[in-house]
Amino acid sequence: MKHPYLTNDHEIFRRSLRKFLEKEAYPFYDLWEEERMIPRSFWEKMGEQGYLCPDIDEEYGGSEVDWGFAVVINEELERVGSGLVGVGLHNDIVVPYITAYGTEEQKKRWLPKCTTGEIITVIAMTEPGTGSDLANIQTTAILDGDHYIVNGQKTFITNGIQSDLIVVACKTDPKANPKHKGVSLLVIERDTPGFSRGRKLNKVGLHCQDTAELIFEDCRVPKENLLGDEGKGFLYLMEKLQQERLLVAIAAQTASEVMLKQTIEYVKSREAFGKPVSKFQNTQFKIVEMATEIEMSRAFLDQLIAEHIEGKDVVTKVSMAKWKMTDSAKKIAAECMQLHGGYGYMEEYEIARRFRDIPVASIYAGTNEIMKTIIAKNLGL
């Protein structure tokens, strides 16, 4: 399908990236799933080829390309497998906090290594007792001379094990009223005293994507590592969540397209009662229903991406896309597994992995229930 916001340059880039992934990712993905980790060498190879943070300025190691290239990267990574979500998180969620709110010194110190894979980034928001309610986070960062003293714990952190640079949402003013005005963003580096990693979490799906607990115990962080202004962290998070949720919608849409394509191929080749499964009316109706849903979602998503690239405020539409496309992807995964019959429950068929991987998309980046709350508010309800 021709995306309206992509040019011939983007498609040339897509072909190059796909060729790279066919050599460096597809053959190893099952092994990465077994080992529960994407090797750092893959990150470094991505960096060598210019696939990490290509949109940032050339002076920091990027290529200064438009965000359409990010869309291509995220679509192609999702086609390999949902476990590569950590690369999109690094490129299009965490690094943009540094480019938008970082000082010149911070940008020069961190961004060049973000483009090479020497630095892998994460953002740490969620806590054991706090999910979507970010104003009530309990991790504190109290200024003591030239350092912040950070105490608290984060969980469900994507790239948590391999991360070198952690953007941490914390309370620099625990007594602030309203509470969200006490939230700030602090960048904590890998070897900072008082910072440690807890468990590498054992998830239902996304097995090769490392997810971890992060622990801060009297962790001393130089005050120069404050990102932006103190007390504006909540505002910064809200400003960047539009793009994060759009990325989730892109991944869900791409996964749906992949699952449908694989299922069509399977039902054409599988025979039952003397004819291909694709010739049964029930199969045809199920395929048609999914194809129609996917086609309509793609049209909405492409328009939404174009508006986002233009810099428009599309928070309401992004919230709609995030909940609808992730919800749809879960249903499509279940339907496609059913059409695979018993083989769909076997690990040798990719649909089994897709079935495991897709449900979390309706939970992270703000649950779908939160999305509906945002939509309702913005509709004046």
Q: Active-site residue 105, yes or no?
A: no
Compute how many other C-beta atoms are within 10 angstroms of the C-beta atom of residue 14.
Answer: 18
Is residue 76 within 8 Å of 21, Cβ to Cβ? Answer: yes
Closest CA to 308 of 294, 319, 324: 319
342: Cβ–Cβ under 8 A, 6 or more apart, which residues?
Answer: none
Catalytic option among 75, 127, 230, 244: 244
How far apart are the C-alpha atoms of 274 and 67, rounded to whole Å?
50
CB atoms < 10 A from the CB of 226, how many? 22
**In 5-67, which ranges are continuous DSSP H helix?**
8-24, 29-35, 40-48
Residue 46: which residues within 8 A CB-CB, separation 6 or more?
A: 52, 87, 117
CA distance 309 to 236: 19
Greatest CA separation for the chain = 79
User: Could you list the active site residues?
Assistant: 244
